Chains A and B, each alone.
Chain A
Amino acid sequence: MPFIPHTADDIAKMLETIGVDSIDALFDEIPQELMIDGLPDVPAQASEMAVTRLMHERAARDSHDVNFIGAGAYEHHIPAVVWELTTRGEFYSAYTPYQAEASQGTLQVIYEYQTMMAALTGMEVSNASLYDGATALAESALMAVRLNRKSKSKRLLVPSTVSPRYRDTCRSLAGSQELKFELVRFADDSGVVSMDSFKAYDGEDITAVVIQQPNFFGRMEEVHEITNWAHANGALVIAVVNPTSLAVLCPPGEWGDKGADIVCGEGQPLGVPLSSGGPYYGFMTCSKKNVRQMPGRIVGRTVDLDGRSGYTLTLQAREQHIRRSRATSNICTNQGLVVTASTMYMTLLGAEGLARVAGACQSQTGKLVNALSAIDGVRPRFSGPQFHEAVLELDRPVGPVLEQLARRHIIGGFALDGDYPELGNALLVCATETRTDEDIDSYASALRDILAEAKVA
């Protein structure tokens, strides 16, 4: 019996001790009319060999394509050490570190993670992580409402350059608590929000302003000016950032005169494979004075009975298992294992390695934009500094072009017509350090062929 250790002798001994004559008798408190006779629709048991073969076949069907999509999830090289060590049984099969004495490994990893995230974002404290970047933004919005006790409106200004998926997630998760997310349009020529769009709200009761840097189009928002404007108007600033970019970009803690109030984002770029969207993790940092309103687990360092340094979960009274209906969030997990991987990734790369990755991403995307824009019918939509993403405009609908590229095993980018119809035939492309010059050349030549063929036809 897979994973069941009991021998016939064991079963007999155990039933005798309990005082029943069969395992079925142990279910005698369940109303008999509810009992079912097996699960005919579930496949029969399969051997590890058979399941291995099946999964290899399925995985092989998915693995031939060269990817040029970013849009919130980025393909970076992950050092071999990272998942080799992360999947050690002692990390992999441990529970939440509630029993601190039996969990010092996990707890110290989280403490080191918190230190690294605080350093990257330029803030004082970090939690132990949330589910993903999108939910981290929703939790940040709720936290901002708790923090900004002067504001009564629960109104948040959200530029449309914030990831559309993040905005959707905020509405699903925070909408039922009467938060209002008001969309601020970006300027058509620059792909960033102009200060004038914010100034239209001068003097109004705004709880918080969300800024994504770099924004969904890979462009840089004027974070200092926006932050100062928000603070002057009594609003808090929630920063949504890409952690790789923070090796080189100004950390939110230094935005404007006072810095952002809450920082969150997607942790996936730090050593987590794309894997169809998860498990990833969301990070969240803030200043020490606001830590009690931060949701999620937090690890602190303290001493034991013998005075030795040790680590434990702290500030637990904010959490659902103690505060129940008055907790800061219903969240109960962090993405512990994924955070373990990220901590190793940041350790291996260090500040300089991460800065090199950021530089390589920027230059590869630059090369990609140049190569594709050289083709007739393709032009960059915005100009100016970008990180590892850029918007291109095609002279025809994007969908069919992407389909043809997919047939040549190129995932050519993310079509923007669904989320941003105002941009016309727009395509969001991305090249990280993992895309070689050859990858870029073959994308360019495939696209040239496809666009030319269509013209001939």
Chain B
Amino acid sequence: MSEVRDDLKYTESHEWVRLNEDGDCIVGITDHAQAALGDLVFVELPEAGSPLTVGDACAVVESVKAASDIYAPITGEVVAVNDQLTDAPELVNEQPYDDGWLFTIRPDDETALGELLEPSDYEEQLDE
């Protein structure tokens, strides 16, 4: 059974979002998603400074035989990306909720986070 953390928000497309104290949001993919994809060989990240609209395909995670788009969970501007993944994409497999984070967005509107799934909703989705 894959891990779902209680302190995060989720999307139906298996991204997680963590709200920082400064109002920025860290985005990654869930434990379930990394397990389904298998060993990652490459992660393509958005450029810092680029504006994103919710639902934009903004990053790609690639395993040997599959590539999946990552969708922006909220609208905002990319303020940081996890450069470590360029040389170590396996971090996403090993620590999907910690060192395997993908990028940080500064949301245009913080209340948009309310639209995201609660941990219990996401767990329910996984059970289906």
User: A residues engaging B (CB < 8 A)?
Assistant: 149, 292, 316-318, 322-323, 326
Contact = CB atoms under 8 A, between A and B. Distances in A.
A317 B63 contact: yes
B67 A322 contact: yes
Nearest to A312: B64
B47 A317 contact: no
A71 to B, nearest CB: 40
Nearest to B67: A317
A316 B44 contact: no
A322 B66 contact: yes
A317 B62 contact: yes
Contacts of A317: 41-42, 62-67
Leading 8 A-B pairs by shortest Cβ distance: A317-B67, A317-B62, A323-B67, A322-B67, A317-B66, A322-B66, A149-B47, A292-B42
A310 to B, nearest CB: 15
A452 B66 CA distance: 69
Contacts of A149: 47
Interface in B45-85: 47, 57, 62-67, 69
Given A292-B42, A317-B63, A326 B47 contact: no
Contacts of B66: 317, 322
From A149, A292, A316, A317, residue with most partner B Cβ within 10 Å: A317
A58 B69 CA distance: 54
B65 A322 contact: yes
Nearest to A292: B42
Contacts of B41: 317
Nearest to A323: B67
From B41, B66, B67, residue with most partner A Cβ within 10 Å: B67
Chain B residues touching A, range: 10 to 19
Contacts of B69: 326
A292 B44 contact: yes
A197 B80 CA distance: 40
A316 B62 CA distance: 10
A326 B67 CA distance: 10
Contacts of B57: 326
Nearest to A293: B44
A324 to B, nearest CB: 10
A326 B47 CA distance: 19
A322 B62 CA distance: 11
A325 to B, nearest CB: 11
Interface in B5-24: none
B89 to A, nearest CB: 12
A447 B65 CA distance: 61
A420 B66 CA distance: 48
A149 B65 CA distance: 26
B59 to A, nearest CB: 12
Nearest to A149: B47
Nearest to B46: A149
A316 B41 CA distance: 11
B65 to A, nearest CB: 7
Nearest to A314: B64
A318 B60 CA distance: 11
B60 to A, nearest CB: 8
A323 B57 CA distance: 13
Contacts of A322: 65-67
A317 B65 CA distance: 6
B87 to A, nearest CB: 12
B63 to A, nearest CB: 7
Nearest to A318: B67
Given A149-B47, A317-B42, A317-B64, 17 more contacts: A292-B42, A292-B44, A316-B64, A316-B65, A317-B41, A317-B62, A317-B63, A317-B65, A317-B66, A317-B67, A318-B67, A322-B65, A322-B67, A323-B67, A326-B57, A326-B67, A326-B69
A185 B69 CA distance: 42
Contacts of A323: 67
B58 to A, nearest CB: 13
A316 to B, nearest CB: 7
A143 to B, nearest CB: 15
Nearest to B69: A326
Contacts of B62: 317
A317 B61 CA distance: 10
From B41, B42, B62, residue with most partner A Cβ within 10 Å: B62
Nearest to B62: A317
A319 to B, nearest CB: 9
A398 B66 CA distance: 56
21 contacts: A149-B47, A292-B42, A292-B44, A316-B64, A316-B65, A317-B41, A317-B42, A317-B62, A317-B63, A317-B64, A317-B65, A317-B66, A317-B67, A318-B67, A322-B65, A322-B66, A322-B67, A323-B67, A326-B57, A326-B67, A326-B69
